[in-house]
Amino acid sequence: MDDMLLTVMAYDWYVAICHPLQYAVIMNPRLCGFLVSVCFLVSLLDSQLHNLIALQFIYFRNVEIANFFCDPSQLLDISCTNTLTNKIFMYFTGAIFGFFPISGILFSYYKIVFSILKIPSSGGMYKVFSTCGSHLSVVCLFYGTGLAVYLGSAVSSSPKKGMVASVMYTVVTPMLNPFIYSMRNRDIKSALWRLHSRMV
């Protein structure tokens, strides 16, 4: 669900930077609710496909999986049956469900970069880039660690590295997102500043 939400956030940044005067009209509550619902339904469909694949297999008893969560690719590795077809299907669906969010994010940032280059003042360019930089850093952290887990499990079997990478993209990235976006909000900054001044 995180990659879908990151795509929606990239679209939000695209509308805010490329069409600032129409932002309230384009990003109305109905569209926002629709986008969140689509994210939820697509991620639910993807997880159910993984569950259906994993439920078909017979596994060894008392086997520990060295990961933060029960990852489908690691379940296929400990299966007692031939899993080549299921691995191909799993990576194919992962590529499809990963291609659309990544392409949406890249298209949004392509449009954002061309809008930034049209800004005449360097101060305005810096402000826009610093606004998008937080989202871009979360995107890079999420996709970098996610690719390390999924592609790294196919190339090498280092359970400790896979566990650290899976914690990064399942726990750290979703926790960073609200923190980064709330720290960019002026009201929250002023509330934190008032709280800090009262404590001091």
What does the pLDDT read at residue 184? 61
**Quick check: 100 pLDDT over 70?**
yes
**Quick check: 156 pLDDT over 80?**
no
Name 138's Cβ contacts closer than 8 Å, sequence gap at least 6. Answer: 6, 173, 176, 177, 180
Average pLDDT, the chain: 76
Report the domain count for the chain.
Answer: 1
Q: What pLDDT digit, counting tens, does each position of 56-84 carry?
A: 766 666 666 666 566 666 666 666 666 67
CA distance 3 to 141: 11
Q: What pLDDT digit, counting tens, does each position of 167-182 carry?
A: 776 777 777 767 666 6
What is the distance, to the nearest Å, from the Cα of residue 116 to the centroid of all Cα atoms in its chain? 24
CA distance 161 to 29: 41
The residue length of the chain stands at 200
- What mean pLDDT do residues 194-198 have? 82
CATH number at residue 40: 1.20.1070.10
Q: Provide the residue range defining the domain that includes 177.
A: 2-199
**Quick check: 30 pLDDT over 90?**
yes
What does the pLDDT read at residue 159? 64
